């Protein structure tokens, strides 16, 4: 005779898988765009942020491009609060439909946007406005998607289900980098600079359409009445303390992830002897290493806990960030050694990103889960990821120190490690609050 628990798990498995697919697919569209934007930062700088008196691709234009990149991240906490409260009150599905539609629209419009040469100073302002819309939608995406996936996970698989959020982030970044690299290899440098860079942005339209269809078809049980803002948090622990602790646990993941997976292409283009195509291929390799590690890391955290896996990843970044960067900059190592170092850099981020979503979901009760984990993740990414390109580019220009990216990633992980060490060893075993 089948045990009741097994019958329940079997009965809910199709619904759990549908929730997993619908919840994670939107991240692919979101991070696809972020990957494309990072890969074409120098091209965007030349078209939208370069005054006529400045040399195309100059440092000030690149810094302005990264400032627009960072601005989108600072609107993510606003989106997390707005869409998080809606998700906690109305349910996960309607919010997830809205945010993926908004992200798809903004990304497609970037591909159609006139450049500065056509409409003058209005071009960078319109681009920045679209980045703001993307930031708002991205802020609501994480909280709703992670809440849906972890709440739908079968017993003992919450880490794996949550890891799919990070895995589709990896797929999105990898798809963005691979698409950019394919376009760069297929077109001449002149065609790429003139119009080819628009193609990856326009491809977001069919991708977003598929995700929108998946989410509108998702069935979600009607949510119970949500408590007043902060009420459920006050019954457990102070909301400010919970969010601050969550930010500290995520900051190393955010900083290392954007340093190794997004900022790297434009940074490597400044290395003597490195071309745009080589830099884009390098980024694809780093994202491949990330994607290969995320799901095993989430599954491992279901067995041994979130703490050892995430803490191990943070400490590994502290120890290996400098050797990995020096290996990439040194002209001596073979292509195979360089490829291995890029795969390793991505894998280190995957150790933190795999268990991370489930870890955040376990910190907040259901009534404020969308808001709490979305706000914590968005704040960490706004400060330590969105600013990564701006801070690294500005510090390299000011100091001439080529090791700034390694300093940035290692320092953030060094601060994050003590916060990760405070995780309970058995938090992965019990049910969500």
CB 250 within 8 Å of CB 356: yes
Query: What integer pLDDT is reported at residue 59 of this predicted model?
Result: 53
Residue 5 has pLDDT above 70, yes or no: no
CATH of the domain at 152: 1.20.1250.20
Domain count, the chain: 1
Half-sphere CA count of 431, side-chain side, radius 13 A: 5
Flag whether 270 is in a domain.
yes
Residue 290 lies in a domain: yes
Q: What is the pLDDT of residue 264?
A: 67
Mean pLDDT of 4-26: 62
Residue 317 lies in a domain: yes
pLDDT 10s digits, 324-379: 888 777 767 677 777 888 889 899 999 999 999 999 999 998 888 888 999 999 89
CB 176 within 8 A of CB 41: no
Helix axes 122-152, 369-384, angle to 10 degrees: 140
Q: CA 380, CA 87: separation in Å to the nearest integer? A: 20
**Is the residue at 66 inside a domain?**
yes
Domain that residue 385 falls in: 22-218+238-421
Does a structural domain hold residue 190?
yes
Q: What is the pLDDT of residue 236?
A: 43
The DSSP symbol for 275 reads -
Count of C-beta atoms within a 10 Å radius of residue 219 = 9
Q: Using the predicted structure, report yes or no on whether residue 69 has a pLDDT greater than 70.
A: no
Nearest one of 185, 179, 178 to 199, comparing CA atoms: 179
Of the candidates 431, 404, 390, the residue with the CA atom closest to the CA atom of residue 71? 390
- What is the greatest pairwise CA distance in the chain? 80
Secondary structure of residue 147 in the 3-state scheme? helix
Report yes or no on 430 lying in a domain. Answer: no
Q: How far is it, in rounded angstroms, from Cα 323 to Cα 311?
A: 20
pLDDT of residue 51: 61
Both tokens assigned to 258: 């954007």
DSSP string, 180-205: HHHHHHHS-HHHIIIIITHHHHHTHH
In angstroms, the CA 299 to CA 279 distance is 32
Helix or strand run (H / E) with residue 382: helix 369-384
Burial tier of 188 (Cβ tally within 10 Å: 0-12, 13-18, 19+): exposed
Average pLDDT, the chain: 81
Give CA–CA dist 173/6, Å, rounded: 37
152 assigned to some structural domain:
yes
Alpha helices in 217-275 (DSSP H): 231-236, 239-258, 264-268
Look up residue 368 and give its DSSP letter. G
d(CA 291, CA 163): 10
Whole-number pLDDT of residue 161? 92
- Measure the CA–CA gap between 22 and 212, rounded to whole angstroms: 9
* Residue 242, burial from CB neighbour count under 10 angstroms (0-12, 13-18, 19+): buried
């Amino acid at each position: 005779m089948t045990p009741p628990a097994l019958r329940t798990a079997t009965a809910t498995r199709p619904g759990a898988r549908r929730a997993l697919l619908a919840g994670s697919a939107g991240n692919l569209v979101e991070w696809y765009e972020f990957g494309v934007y990072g890969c074409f930062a120098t091209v965007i700088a030349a078209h939208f942020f370069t005054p006529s008196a400045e040399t195309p691709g100059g440092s000030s234009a690149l810094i302005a491009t990264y400032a627009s990149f960072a601005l989108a991240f600072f609107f993510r906490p606003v989106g997390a609060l707005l869409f998080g409260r809606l998700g906690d009150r109305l349910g996960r599905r309607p919010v997830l439909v809205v945010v993926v539609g908004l992200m798809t629209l903004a990304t497609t419009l970037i591909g159609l946007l006139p450049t500065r040469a056509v409409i003058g100073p209005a071009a960078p302002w319109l681009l920045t406005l679209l980045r703001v819309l993307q930031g708002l939608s991205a802020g609501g995406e994480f909280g709703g998607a992670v809440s849906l996936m972890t709440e739908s996970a079968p017993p003992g698989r919450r880490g794996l289900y949550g890891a799919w959020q990070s895995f589709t982030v990896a797929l999105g970044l990898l798809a963005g980098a691979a698409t950019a690299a394919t376009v760069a290899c297929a077109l001449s440098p002149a065609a790429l600079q003139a119009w080819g860079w628009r193609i990856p942005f326009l491809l977001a339209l069919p991708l977003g359409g598929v995700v929108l269809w998946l989410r509108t078809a998702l069935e979600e049980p009607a949510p119970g009445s949500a408590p007043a803002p902060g009420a459920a948090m006050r019954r457990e622990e102070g909301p400010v303390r919970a969010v601050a602790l969550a930010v500290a646990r995520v900051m190393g993941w955010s900083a290392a992830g954007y340093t190794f997976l997004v900022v790297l292409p434009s940074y490597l283009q400044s290395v003597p002897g490195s071309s745009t195509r080589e830099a884009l291929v390098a980024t694809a390799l780093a994202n491949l290493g990330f994607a290969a590690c995320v799901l095993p890391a989430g599954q491992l955290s279901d067995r041994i806990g979130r703490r050892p896996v995430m803490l191990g990843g943070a400490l590994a970044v502290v120890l290996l960030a400098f050797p990995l960067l020096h290996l990439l900059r040194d002209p001596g190592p073979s292509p195979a050694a360089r490829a291995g170092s890029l795969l390793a850099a991505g894998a280190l981020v995957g150790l933190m990103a795999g268990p991370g979503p489930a870890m955040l979901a376990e910190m907040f009760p259901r009534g404020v889960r969308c808001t709490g984990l979305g706000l914590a993740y968005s704040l960490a990414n706004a400060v330590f990821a969105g600013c990564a390109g701006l801070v690294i580019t500005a510090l390299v220009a000011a100091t001439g120190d080529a090791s700034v990216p390694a300093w940035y990633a290692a320092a953030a992980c060094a601060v994050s490690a003590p916060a990760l060490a405070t995780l309970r060893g058995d938090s992965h075993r019990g049910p969500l609050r």
